[in-house]
Chains A and B, each alone.
Chain A
């Protein structure tokens, strides 16, 4: 039995360690943040979005000065604002969107990555978080707000529909739009809300409905929920938007909301781990978390037993996998707001059983209880990933103080986007009434 203060101390420790990733991985000159701790890792624009959202948290918690936070945020915003938007093969962006991976020093496209709609949305969510928090009446914060506003307004969300009904996943300079659209429930709620809220280049009003028509409402293991396999899908939009008690037409029909849906997704994950269809070591009701994460690779680990199927980096999901026994230790932490008791129980149990999952005190991308690691413990990813550290930092904060949710409730673009998507009720009605 642990007391609430014990839990708070643990969460404080986990959150601080997660946040410190950004201070270690940031290039202070341009505000870009490395995707992972791998040598030579490029910047991920999504990780910059998480970093921009984490700085206000760190200021509030006294982990960094406001001055330092403004400096890092301004560096990033100035970089993106002034970056090469020609859409060339080694540019930084196009039409207000940005390439997924950028050189940490020059900020130019790396790995022939795509101009990414969802990753730009995650970046913009961070940009708008910074705009809402750093709004003091001084020159630097005024500049920050101005740049943030311009960056958001520059994004041509309508273009990203490629003339179709929904938003495409990406674009490449040599081949144009990727063939992938958004099919089924994903983290794209945030993307659509930002795309609908734009005063300059919003997507068509029916784009959100065209996407949500692909949703699947399923009864699985006795839980009725909007189905998506990997847990991160049920977390990412919630890092910024308080989806408690507000409902779009789909959720009104189903008499649920996205927050409750994520709670059920957590219960489904837990139930899957309890049933453990793959028979993997370690899985049980207090050891779960299948999501997008790093993973063991057969070619890199010849010591694995013959016949072991491992998938490396993959969007692991429930109930159809892929599942190679790899768990993201941070996934329960990022589920705290939805199911705090269950999540804390899992966090404590997993840390007790597998303390090696936090090398250097910070969650590794994942671990695999059934495979032996190099130092006698279980296999643990050698890397920290910025996305994981970001979602941990933000979801612990939302669980503790709701800081990010409150900031984004103030954001007129987010409010407009939610209303454009047909969300009603809860805090959104109160905000609408106040503004009226």
Chain B
């Protein structure tokens, strides 16, 4: 069944078997909210990554838990974020592999094509399968009272869910975030896509404009380009992924150019107008103007915390619409009974950070924990090709804090496995405190950077120094061998320093 969404573009409510299964898991049509307990140990508002992780953790430790969701269990990550986007990226990588097959001596017969319908069917199947883990029935079976409705605080220790009132000893706000759409004249009238409706597309647009060069914009721009869409990406500052290592952002720009993506850095989309089925977009860079015509526009310009409609004032919870719920380092709000975690309150809006913050909140709220958010070591990854992964401090951040930092760099073109795979774009950069082997952070750019960064994250968390990593065996040949090569370089430099600088 095809409908018109807020975009005005053709999107669809898919009634295939996968969607039926997903909805059965994340919002069962026949679901009836349970009769509330007289008082809950823990009421969680929002059942995305944060809320689900908190529910599991709390109920596993014997707490009486209520979980309230106004939309779908799994939130952004499962339904309209990480899971569906990575499924599309996987298909786009297949396209890239086919395009580059001759490099490996493999000749693909003419006629290879993208069946977008099948691609999206697979995406929905993947999404449905992952939705089984945290289905409403599964949660209920584990002892969680699952409520589907809007939540609204009524007192400092209670909230309403439909007609019911839930009283709590402690509560957690885990309402997540939503796309922050740019205020471009004509954009709303012309129609646009966000992550909230992108995954309902039924047809590949012929020409796509992506506004925003953050992780989501970059991932989707490259993916749709590789699927054969003539794609332009516009970023209003001079580099993609602001905050990432400059070389990483430059490598990404080069990769985009190689893929045939039209890159417009330091460029603003200043107006949009509709001309029949086409969208006409004016772009401005410095004092030059350009007009492009596309069939669809996707925005990826950040996310805003969901704090509206919760009546947080009644609960004595401080917040604003930009930062979200105000919390201290223990994730406690202005009301000591109420905590917040995940995208609703954090600067880093990642699924893994959301889950980690949920565990902190549960420990602190229910079990008198004193765990601090600032103690988290947060890795992240942008799933472009190459992937760009980071953990810990960057060079600039360290130097601004007065930390003397040194970096051990191994280009991927020196890593045997990368050479074997002809995937030599990228690097391993590991930052240590100067004249020590203490790892402060790392950036990895490579085909499997997201997998590799975990080793550095573990080293930081466990206090394993770079010198010790040199003695850790790595299977040969793997790209993670690059990490050991960086550690070897450290050891060599230390020996050299002991015997005189090179």
Contact = CB atoms under 8 A, between A and B. Distances in A.
Interface stretch (A77-85, A214-222, A282-290): A214-222
Contacts of A222: 489, 492-493, 502
Nearest to A223: B502
A219 B254 contact: no
A89 to B, nearest CB: 9
Contact of A277 (B406, B411, B434, B502): B411
A183 B287 contact: no
Contacts of B238: 179-180
A277 B287 CA distance: 39
A367 to B, nearest CB: 22
Contacts of B286: 114, 172, 174-175, 178
Contact of B287 (A175, A220, A255, A319): A175
A184 interface: yes
Nearest to B404: A253
A319 B411 contact: yes
Nearest to B432: A219
Given A175-B286, A224-B406, A253-B434, A184 B399 contact: no
A180 B434 CA distance: 29
Interface in B384-418: 395-396, 399-400, 404-409, 411, 413-414
B407 A217 contact: yes
A184 B413 contact: no
A172 B287 contact: yes
A298 to B, nearest CB: 12
Contacts of A227: 407, 409
A372 to B, nearest CB: 22
Interface residues of B, number: 35
A309 B259 CA distance: 12
Contact of A224 (B250, B258, B424, B493): B493
Contacts of A112: 287-288
Given A215-B399, A219-B493, A222-B489, A277 B407 contact: no
A216 B395 contact: yes
Interface string A308-320: 0100000000011
Given A112-B287, A219-B406, A224 B396 contact: no
A162 interface: no
Contact of B247 (A114, A172, A320): A320
B372 interface: no
Contact of A219 (B395, B408, B411): B408
A226 B106 CA distance: 42
Nearest to B245: A216
A224 B288 contact: no
Contact of A183 (B246, B288, B408, B409): B246
A282 to B, nearest CB: 18
Contacts of A217: 405-407, 434
B490 interface: yes
Interface string A297-325: 00000000000010000000001111000
A216 B251 contact: no
Given A216-B395, A222-B502, A224-B406, A320 B266 contact: no
A255 B406 CA distance: 13
Given A255-B501, A321-B254, A173 B409 contact: no
B303 to A, nearest CB: 23
A277 B422 CA distance: 11
A173 B287 contact: yes
A400 interface: no
A213 interface: yes
B237 interface: yes
Determine the interface band of chain A, counting residues with CB < 8 A from chain B: 20 to 34
A-side binding surface: helix, strand, loop or mixed?
loop
Nearest to B102: A307
A179 B287 contact: no
B427 A219 contact: no
Given A179-B266, A277-B411, A184 B246 contact: yes
Interface in A91-112: 112
A197 B130 CA distance: 63
Given A180-B238, A219-B409, A277-B424, A322 B395 contact: no
B429 interface: yes
A320 B411 contact: yes
B414 A275 contact: yes
Interface in B261-314: 266, 286-288
Contacts of B408: 218-219
A255 B238 CA distance: 33
B396 A214 contact: yes
B411 A216 contact: no
Given A183-B246, A216-B407, A320-B427, A174 B489 contact: no
A35 to B, nearest CB: 20
A333 B246 CA distance: 29
Interface in B136-169: none
Contacts of A319: 409, 411, 413, 427
Nearest to A264: B502
A112 B287 CA distance: 9
B407 A275 contact: no
Contacts of A180: 238, 266
A320 B250 contact: yes
B413 A179 contact: no
Nearest to A255: B501
Interface in A203-236: 213-220, 222-224, 227
A220 B238 CA distance: 26
15 contacts: A174-B287, A213-B399, A216-B395, A219-B406, A219-B490, A220-B409, A222-B489, A222-B502, A224-B501, A227-B407, A277-B411, A277-B414, A309-B258, A319-B409, A322-B254
Interface of A: 112, 114, 172-175, 178-180, 183-184, 213-220, 222-224, 227, 253, 255, 275, 277, 309, 319-322
Give the 7 A-B residue pairs with the shortest CB-CB distance, closest first.
Answer: A174-B287, A277-B413, A218-B407, A175-B287, A319-B411, A213-B399, A175-B286
